[in-house]
Amino acid sequence: MAQRPPATPAESDLLRIDDQLSPDERLVRDTVRAYTAERVMPSIADWFEAGILPRELVPELGKLGLLGMHLTGYGCAGMGPVAYGVACRELEAADSGVRSMVSVQGSLAMYPIWRYGSDAQKEEWLPRMAAGEAVGCFGLTEPDHGSDPASMKTHAEPNGTGWVLSGSKMWITNGTIADIAVVWARTPDGIRGFLVPRGARGFTARAIHKKMSLRASVTAELHFDSVKLPADAMLPGVSGLKGPLSCLTEARFGIIWGVTGAGRSCLEAAIAYSRTREQFGQPIGGFQLTQSKLAWMAADLQRAQLLALHIGRLKEAGTLRPEQVSLAKMANVRTAIDLARQARTILGANGITLEYPVIRHANNLESVLTYEGTEEIHALAVGQALTGISAYR
Amino acid sequence: MNIVVCVKQVPDTWAERTLRPADSCLDRASVDGVINELDEYAIEEGLLQAEAHDGEVTILSMGPQKAAESIRKALSMGADKAVHLVDDGLAGSDALGTSLALSTVLARIGFDLVILGAEATDARMGVLPAMLAERLRVPQLSLARKVEIDGNTVTVHRLTEYGYDQVVASLPAVVSVVEKINEPRYPSFKGIMAAKKKPVETLSLADAGIDPAQVGLGAAATEVLSFAKRPPRQAGTIVKDEGDGGSKAAEFLAAQKFI
């Protein structure tokens, strides 16, 4: 509790958008801000440079209730979508890697078990995952199949009463630390989800190194070499691509909010720097060009925050549509990248060091731009919704 | 064991705090309210003692409507229920009025142990624990950095300028705590959800049986006669080390009577 941040990030919230949050949502905001200030911010630059995310953060996040916080039962907090969004925002204000860990655990690994799993699967995995005792990952993307998951090669063949799983998955967040992988594979009756525990014979996970983005995040490739699975490893509740795509819609919702945190961090760093950095005998925050940059950054950020809040309230009302998620994911990630680049110009050379958060956010956001649906694919989803014509399938 | 933790909502310590020119009272409306920091330690201590001694924690807060948010946070941390004393007639109460109001409610709801922070970050008087204990006619154990309860006996440990004190008293008692005592927990999200269902009793002056003539700005025994903004910080003295830096630094410290 020693390094508590201010209760309200008022400086960049000129429109007081946070006043629209409920008391519970504000309490979630303050709790996550206080936690990241104490546990993440002092070390994040070092973790980023070393390319690690300490595993011991996971049970701490579980204790707070962040893992699967928008799910009900099985030890999950059962909070509303806006509270989930606010939590993602505050996590990503610290680092996109930490938010990614939580997104993958809650929305991509726990959500499919919670929504499509059997009672036994839920009982076995969800309480431990909510507590952060077990980590999950989500295997959809393959080395040769990213935007076009329908062409996936990974397949599961019936074998007596069970299955044999073969193939590989790529760019898998949490892959090497996961206790359970939710793997999507082709079967004789369409694409199905399988729960593959760590240590299953023939299942290996290898860390991907030499990343210049999301360095404080575990990324892996998963290989399945004729992995024998029992019949009850399959998620009974869904078949076809709508299974994994529904999970991605959940996770993208978190991104819409999360990137506004990264953008806010960049704007606040730029404001603070411009007040103290002096050139030509005065703080650069007093120059018109700098003020113009800051003003537009604030305007862009607040628009993105309003968009996130609107999407959150739509989800709360149960009317949120995938193309609305696409529009907001596409728009807010682009805004956050623009904010990071503009902040970088205000910080000058300091903008490229890990002493300040800006270059870290800028690099992270390059991953966020393309993961969970590239900007182009989301544009096509929006284009189809606008014209009624599909340009890609 | 029935533990009551007194919680004050104060203006965010990070925000710029001002007094209103009209009545010299703290402007609470224009800044966000947070739980007084030392009271968070008091809540944590109440929860720890309740967990160890099968007790129940009640939060008692006197403050305007928006103090309900701080009560909610205390309940989210794990307290069982709350009493909110809220009445326009309480505005501007000084420590005497506040202690009268709180002690009246404490006597009404009953307690084995009252815990509160040693002072609040807004007024920083630090007299309320003593006033409460005096009005309630129970022992006061102040500035605790450790609390031990054994049957009907409470022992606190405190660090003073001259050494360590161990103060022992019988329950019921009032204990004030300092930040060394523990590490307050975060409200968990499950706790936030559970807090919605916890009972919060709202009392007006009339409900609590408090005489309006004895509280509020009108009844205050103290008065702010004048106030001024803190003067801007002076530039420090820079001493160039020309081989005599050490003795110059010592001269400065001696002049300030530090050494």
- Is the CB of B183 inside 8 Å of chain A's CB atoms? yes
Domain presence at residue B241: no
3-class SS of residue B148:
strand
Per CATH, domain A9-130 is 1.10.1750.10: no
Confidence check: pLDDT of A23 > 80: yes
Q: pLDDT band at A3, cuts 50/70/90? A: very low
| Min distance B71 CA to chain A CA atoms (Å) | 11
Q: Tell me the mean pLDDT in the region A5-11.
A: 56
B73 to chain A: which residues are within 8 Å by CB?
A: 27, 30
For residues A112 and A223, is the Cβ–Cβ distance under 8 A?
no
B190/A5 Cβ within 8 A: no
Q: pLDDT band at B26, cuts 50/70/90? A: confident
ipTM: 0.86
CATH number for the domain harbouring residue B99: 3.40.50.620
Of B106, B114, B115, residue with least CA distance to B184: B115
- Is the CB of B187 inside 8 Å of chain A's CB atoms? yes
Domain presence at residue B89: yes
Confidence check: pLDDT of A50 > 90: yes
Neighbouring CB atoms inside 10 A of A84's CB total 29
pLDDT per position as a tens digit, B158-184? 998 899 999 999 999 999 999 999 999
Beta-bridged to residue A158, according to DSSP, are: A163
B40/A65 Cβ within 8 A: no
A1 to chain B: which residues are within 8 Å by CB?
A: 40, 183-184
| CATH code for the part of the protein at A136-233 | 2.40.110.10
Full domain range(s) for residue B201: 2-219
Q: Per mean pLDDT, which range of A308-322, B89-103, B218-232 is the poorest?
A: B218-232
Percent of chain A with pLDDT over 90: 96
Domain presence at residue B228: no
Domain presence at residue B131: yes
- Is the CB of B84 inside 8 Å of chain A's CB atoms? no
Q: Compute CA distances A334 → A90, A126, A376, B132, whole Å.
A: 19, 34, 12, 57
Q: Give the residue numbers of A annotated as catalytic, written as ranges.
A: 372
A41 vs B195: CA distance, rounded Å: 29
| Min distance B209 CA to chain A CA atoms (Å) | 30
Confidence check: pLDDT of A358 > 70: yes
Domain ranges of chain A: 9-130, 136-233, 242-387
Domain presence at residue B120: yes
Q: Tell me the mean pLDDT in the region A69-91.
A: 97
Of B138, B187, B196, B144, residue with least CA distance to B165: B144
Q: pLDDT band at A9, cuts 50/70/90? A: low
Confidence check: pLDDT of A1 > 50: no
Q: Per mean pLDDT, which range of A61-70, B24-33, B76-85 is the poorest?
A: B24-33
pLDDT per position as a tens digit, A120-151? 999 999 999 999 999 999 999 999 999 999 99
A83 to chain B: which residues are within 8 Å by CB?
A: 189
pLDDT per position as a tens digit, B177-225? 999 999 999 999 999 999 999 999 999 999 999 999 999 999 999 888 8
Q: pLDDT band at A58, cuts 50/70/90? A: very high
Nearest CA in chain A to B192: A24
Specify the CATH architecture of the domain A242-387.
Up-down Bundle (1.20)
Domain count, chain B: 1
Q: pLDDT band at B256, cuts 50/70/90? A: confident
Domain presence at residue B14: yes
Of B183, B28, B24, residue with least CA distance to B12: B28
The backbone torsions φ and ψ at residue A222, rounded to the nearest 5 degrees and listed phi first, read: -110, 135
Mutate to test the interface with A, among B32, B43, B73, B189 (most CBs of A within 10 A): B189
What is chain B's mean pLDDT, rounded? 93
Confidence check: pLDDT of A5 > 80: no
CB pairs under 8 A between A and B: 60
B234 Cα distance to chain centroid: 32
Q: Tell me the mean pLDDT in the region B121-133.
A: 92
B185 to chain A: which residues are within 8 Å by CB?
A: none
Confidence check: pLDDT of A7 > 60: no
Of A8, A69, A77, the CB nearest to B12: A8
B189/A6 Cβ within 8 A: no
B132 vs A184: CA distance, rounded Å: 64
A192 vs A169: CA distance, rounded Å: 15
Of B68, B72, B189, the CB nearest to A65: B189
Residue reference for tokens 């002690």: B103
